Structure 1
Amino acid sequence: MADESSSATISPMIVVGDAPDYSDTNLAGSVDSISREELAQSHINNTMELFTKVPGVYFARYNQGIINTDIGIRGFAAEGSSPHAKLLIDGIPTNLHNGYSEMDQLFPGDISNITVFKGTSDPRYGLLNVAGNYNIETRSDLGREVQVTAGSYNAREVQAYVGEQTGKLRHNYFFGYRQSDGYRDNFELDKYSVSGRWFYDFSDDTSLGLIVRASDYDADAPGYLTQEEARKHPTRSASYARQDGGDKNTQSYSLHFDHAFSDSVDWSLKSYFNHYERERWVRFTAGDSLQNRYDDQDHYGVISSLNWQLNRDWTLNWE
C-alpha cells in the first residue's frame, strides 16, 4: 500500500539563450530545417520524399512515372489545382512555368541542407511564394565520400562527392545514379545527376562562383487501378498502361557574385539559365487513346540583392 503522506515534486527548469539573428525568425510563420546529418541517411526514388521529415507538409502521391509526388503547406492543396510554394536551389528559382517544382535533379548526397518556411508573410520572394517556400543548398564542404547501396524492389544506387580547395578556388563535384523496379509492376526507374561548383575568393569580401548541373529521370508508370483492384492486387499495373511512362531532362547553369562593402552592407548578384525537357506517354483509362505530352522550357534571369543591417533588430533588403 502506498504511503499517502508522500508527494511528488517537480524541480524548476530555467532555459537561457539568445534568439538567432537570421531574419526568418522575425516572420509570421514557422521555419524547419533538414540537416546534412539527416540527409546522409536518405536513399529515395524522388527527392520530394525528403520532406516527410518536415511537420506541416502534406503529400499528394501520384506514383505515375515522372509525375510522382507533390507537396502542400498547411492546408494548401497539393493535388495540382494551385501551385503555391517557391522552390529555390542555391538561391535560383526552380519552379516550372506552371508553378510546380522540379527537385528530382538532386540526390540527397548533393544537398547540404533544406529550409522550409511555412506561412504567407515572407516578403523576400515574389511569384508563387503564397503559402511559403523551400530553400535547398547544395554541398560545398571539403572531403570525399562514396556511397553504394542496394535495397528493396531491386533498388541500386551510387552517390559520389568530392570537395577540394586549391589556393583560393574551392571546387566540388557530385555524381549520383539510381535504378529501381518499384513496388508495382511497370514502375521501373532510372535516374542520374552530375554537378560541379567552382567558387573563387578574390578576397575575404568578394567571391565569384559557377554552378553547373545536369540530370535525367526516366520512369515507367503503372497506371490507375480501381479501388477494388488496388485492394486485391496492390502491386499490379493497369493492363491498359503498359506503354505509360516518361522522361525528364534538366540542365541548370548559374553565376554567383558576392561582395561585402562593410560588416553591415553586402551585395549578391546571381544570373541563371534553367532548361527543362519533359515527355510523358499516358493512357488514363482503357477507353482512352495513348497521349504524348511534351514540354520544353527555358528559364533565365538575374537576381540582385542588397542587404543593410541597420542594427540588431532592423535589416533593409533591396531586390
Structure 2
Amino acid sequence: MRPIKQLENRFTRCPLALAMLCLSAPVAAEHVMPELMISADAQASVFSVSPARALTELQKTPGGVTVVDAQDYLTGRAGTMEDTLKLAPGVFIASRFGSDEARISIRGSGLQRTFHGRGLLLLQDGVPINLADGGFDMQAIEPQATRYIEVERGANALRFGGSTLGGAINYISETGRSAPALSLRAEAGSFDYQRYNLSVGAAKGALDGFASLNFQEQDGFRDHANQRNTRFVGNVGVQLSPQLENRTYVTVVDTDSELPGNLTYAALKANPRQAEAGSLNRDAKRDFQLYRLANRTALTHADGGVTEFTAFAAKKMLFHPLSFARLVQNSRDGGIGLRHTQPTQWLGAQQEHTVGVNWRRGLTVDEQCSYVITPAGPGGTPPAVSAPAGTHPCATLTKSNKLTAHNLEAYAQTRWSLTPKTDLTLGGQWTDAQRKVAPGDVPAPPRYDQDYQRFSPKLGVLHHLTAEIDLYANLSGSFEPPSFSETFNNLPLKAQRAMTTEVGARGHVQVANAKLGWDASVYRAKIRNELLALDVGNNRSATINAGETLHQGIELGLSARANAWRAQASYLYNDFRFVRDASVGNNRIAGVPDHVLNAEAAVKLPGDVWFGPTLQSASRAWVDHSNTLAAPGYSVFGLKLNQSLSNGVAWFVEGRNLGDKRYANTTGVIFDANGADAAQFSPGDGRAVYVGVSKAY
C-alpha cells in the first residue's frame, strides 16, 4: 500500500460527526490564531510576511495585482481553486463538474482548457508548479494550507520571470511562524462531500516548521464524478544567520477523478446529473500521483539587497483512460532560479533593480494504447456496451513518445522614483525554449525538435494621486511556446505572442464609517498565433494557431467594510475576437462569457454571527468560433452564515444554487456547430448545502 494511502486510511476512520465532536464546536470561517512569540535571536522570515505587507509590496507594480487572504475564503467551503479565486479581480474560473479541474483564465489566457491549465505561471511560494512545457494541474494546490494568494495579471508577473498573457498566481504557504500550533477543520455537505484537514506549526529560535494533511472526497453532483484527493504539504525553515534563511517545501498529492464528460444542452436541461455515455462506458478518469520537493535560500545584504536561489524537482505519474484510448504518462521535472533585488539612491532619487534567470527541464514518457474494438451490430450500428466500466482491456500500444522541454528565461526590471509621487518601471524578459518529441517503444512519425526564442519588453508608470489612490499604465509583451498537450498528432505549433496595453486605478476611501476599496483595469492585447484548443470529438482535443486576435476587457474589484456589514464583488467584461479571419471574420472567440459577476455580502448579527447572500452570474458564452451555438447566461444565488469565536473555534453553513437552476457552468469549444446542439455543455452543480467546523489552538 502506498504510504500516503496508509495516512489516508487512518485519517478517514473518524466520520464527520465524530470529527465535529472532537473539535468541540463548529470550524473555520475566519479562525483567530494565537499570537506567536518569536525569540529575539530569530529574525522575521523573508518567506513569511503578512498579507497586508505582501499587498503593499505588490502595489508598487504599475498594473493589476491582488492579494487574496485565505481568511476570506475560509468563511465557506474551501475545497477548490474556484472556491479560492472566484472573487479575485481579473480571474475567470469555472469548474467543469464541481471538482478541482476548471477553466481558469486571466485576460483570455488558455481560456479553452477545462483541465491541465496553461497560459498562467502557477507558483507555490515563488517556485513554479508548472511542468517545464508550461502546463499545470489544479490538484497540486492545497487551499487550506495557504496563508494568502498573490495574483499578478499579465506582465505584472515579471518579478518571477513570467511572460505569459495571463500572468502569475502565487499560493503562499503557512509556516511555523504564521500558523497555529494545531488546527483542525472538517467540511461536509451535498453530493457526499467531505473534507478533513489537520495542520501543525511550530517555531523555536532559528527553526520553524509547518505540516498539513488533507483528505477530500465527493460522489459529485453528476453520475461518474467521484473525486478523491489526499494531500500532504509541509515546509521547514532555518535562519542560518540574521541575513541568511533557507526553507524546504514538500508536497505529496494522490488524486483520483472520474470524468463524466459533456452533454448536449437538451440533455443538460432534461437531466443534468447524467454522465456522457462514452465516458461512463470506458470509465474515463484522470488519476495521478505527484511528489514535489522545492527549496528557497535568501541572503539579505547590508545595503538592503536580497539574493534568492530556488530549486525544485517533481515526479508525476498519470493514468488517464478516455473514451478513445488509455493514456499513461510519467514525468520528471526540475529547475533552478537565481534572482537579485537591489535598492539604490542615485541623482537624488530612489530606485529598485531586479535581475534574474530561471532554468527548467522536463522529460515525459507518453504512452497511449487502444481498446479492443467491438464488432458492429446488425446493419452496421454499434451494439450497446454492456460490459461494466473499467473492464475494457488495452489491446495495443499505439503511441510511445519521449517529450523533452527546456526553458531558459532571463529577466530584468528597474523602478525609478521620478518624483515623490511618480514611479517609472522598465523591464524585459528573454525566453529560449525547446520542445522535442522523440520516438519511444513504438516509432510513429512525425517527430519534431522545435526552438522558440523572443524578447518581451515592459514599460510602466505608477502615479500616487493621493496617499490612498494610485493610477497606472503599462505597455508589455508576452510570449508562450506551446505545451505538449497542444501538439496534436505531434505537429509543432508556433509560439503565441502579444502586446498588451493597460490603464487602471486602485485605492480606498473612507465614507462615514465604511471603508470602500476598488481595483479597476482596462486592457487591450493584440495577439499573434493565439493557441486555441478545439474539441474534435470522442473526448479528444486539438490546438491550432489563430492568425491575429484581439483580447480586451475590464477587470473590476469592489469591496466595502464597516463594523456591522461587508460586501465584495468581482466583475469581468471579456471582448475576445478574431481579426479579419478568413473563416470566421471578426467573430467572438468561444469559451468564456462576455460578462461575469461574482459577489457576496453579509451583515453582523448578535454574537458576531455573519449572514448574507452570494451571487454567481454570467452572460451567454459561445461554444463555437462560428458563433452559432452558445450556453445561455445564468444567475445562481446562495446564502452564507458563519461565526468566528475568540477561543479559535469557527463554523460556517453555506448554501449554493438554492434555486436549483439547471445551467452550464462551462463548455467545450469547437470550430463550427452549424447551429446544432452538441455534447459540449458541462452542468453546474444543483442545490447544495455545506457545513464546516474548525478549531485553532
Aligning the two structures, in what range does the TM-score lie when normalised by the shorter sequence?
0.7 to 0.9
| Alignment match of 1:309 (pick from 343, 352, 374) | 343
Change (3 A) 1:33 1:22: closer
Q: Which of 322, 333, 337 in structure 2 is aligned with 1:299?
A: 333
Structure 2 counterpart of 1:80: 113
Following superposition of structure 1 onto structure 2, how do residues 135-146 of structure 1 map, counting pairs within 5 Å?
Answer: 135-140=170-175, 141-146=179-184
Please point out which of 108, 126, 150 is paired with 1:115. Answer: 150
Task: State the Cα deviation string for residues 144-170 of structure 1 (Å, max 9, x = none).
Answer: 100122111111111111101133210
Which residue does the alignment assign to 1:233?
Answer: 271
Report the equivalent of 2:126. 91
- Please give the root-mean-square deviation of Cα atoms over the aligned residues, in Å: 2.5
* Residue pairs, 1:1-319, within 5 angstroms: 24-63=58-97, 68-80=101-113, 83-126=118-161, 128-140=163-175, 141-242=179-280, 243-283=283-323, 290-311=324-345, 313-319=350-356
Task: Quote the offset at 1:42 in angstroms.
Answer: 4.6
Distance 2:264 2:312 in 1: 44
Q: Tell me, which stretches of 5 or more residues in structure 2 are unaligned?
A: 1-52, 357-697
Amino acid at match of 1:124: R
Give the 3-state SS of the residue equivalent to 2:208 in structure 1: strand
Quick one: which amino acid aligns to residue 318 of structure 1? V
Alpha-carbon shift at residue 43 of structure 1 (Å) = 3.0
Rounded to whole Å, the distance in 1 between the matches of 2:250 and 2:118 is 27
Instruction: Kindly provide the CA deviation profile for residues 94-126 of structure 1, in whole angstroms up to 9, marking residues without a partner as x.
Output: 113442322312322100110111133543234
1:86 positional shift: 0.9
Moved more, 28-37 or 81-90: 81-90
Q: Report the alpha carbon displacement of residue 21 of structure 1 after superposing the two structures with TM.
A: 9.1
Quick check: 1:76–1:131 contact (8 Å CA) kept in 2? yes
Partner SS for 1:123: helix
| 1:259 counterpart SS class | strand
- Mapped to 1, the partners of 2:262 and 2:87 lie a distance apart of 28
Residues 54 and 121 of structure 1, relative CA distance in 2, 3 Å threshold = closer
Q: Tell me how far 1:229 sits from its aligned partner.
A: 0.7
CA distance in 1, matches of 2:314, 2:284: 27
Q: CA deviation at 1:274?
A: 1.6
CA distance in 2, matches of 1:20, 1:171: 21
1:243-262 per-residue CA deviation (whole Å, 9 max, x = no partner) reads 11120211110122111111
SS at match of 1:245: coil
Q: Distance in 2 between matches of 1:48 and 1:212?
A: 23
Q: Which runs of 5+ in 1 are unaligned?
A: 1-18, 284-289
Decide whether the 8 Å contact of 1:118 with 1:133 is kept in 2: yes
Whether the 8 Å contact between 1:277 and 1:295 is mirrored in structure 2 is yes
Q: In the alignment, is the contact (CA less than 8 A) between 1:185 and 1:236 conserved in 2? A: yes
Residues 48/297 of structure 1: CA separation in 2 closer, same or farther (3 Å cut):
farther
Among the aligned pairs, what percent are the same residue? 17
Which residue is 1:286 aligned to?
Answer: none
Q: What is the distance in 1 between the residues matched to 2:56 and 2:72?
A: 22
For normalisation by structure 1, the TM-score amounts to: 0.84
**How far is 1:292 from its partner?**
1.1
TM-score of the pair, normalised by structure 2: 0.40
Letter in 2 for 1:73: I
- Which amino acid in 1 is paired with 2:354? N
Deviation for aligned residue 1:221: 1.1
